Amino acid sequence: MGLIKTEKFTNQQNEIALIAKVIGHPARVAILQHLFKINACVCGDLVDEIGLAQSTISQHLKELKHMGLIKGSVEGTSVCYCIDTENWSKMKQIMTQFLDQDVSNNTCC
């Protein structure tokens, strides 16, 4: 299979695909749900909460942070993570617009 030529697609299409890829892993969904549930920054209890190895959790946190859905701050020897509410709202708006496309006039099949 060849490389995907992202330049053939609009910025919005590429952004939707990136969002879908980042939230397309159940561990990342679980991390986001936990951060919303506690409504605070988390500084290390994710391994116990999610049940995966620290290195695995760290990789998922890196992906979520790279996408801008979470942000981290250093507190002592640990990094604390929380939802980046501004970027979350932007992502939500992009995905809502995409998912709310009207298909009621669809005459196919």
CATH of residue 50:
1.10.10.10
Whole-prediction pTM: 0.84
Long-range CB contact pairs, 41-44, < 8 A, 24+: 41/73, 41/80, 41/81, 41/82, 42/80, 42/81, 42/82, 43/75, 43/78, 43/79, 43/80, 43/81, 44/78
Is 109 part of a structural domain of the chain? Answer: no
**% pLDDT > 70, the chain:** 90
How many domains in the chain? 1
Q: What is the pLDDT of residue 4?
A: 65
End-to-end Cα, the chain, rounded Å: 30
Is 79 part of a structural domain of the chain? Answer: yes
Residue 37: is its pLDDT beyond 80?
yes
How many Å separate Cα 11 from the centre of its chain?
Answer: 18
The range of the structural domain enclosing residue 42 comes to 10-94
Residue 35: is its pLDDT beyond 80?
yes
Is 46 part of a structural domain of the chain? Answer: yes
Average pLDDT of the segment spanning 10-31: 95
Q: What is the pLDDT of residue 48?
A: 86
Is 65 part of a structural domain of the chain? Answer: yes
Is 32 part of a structural domain of the chain? Answer: yes
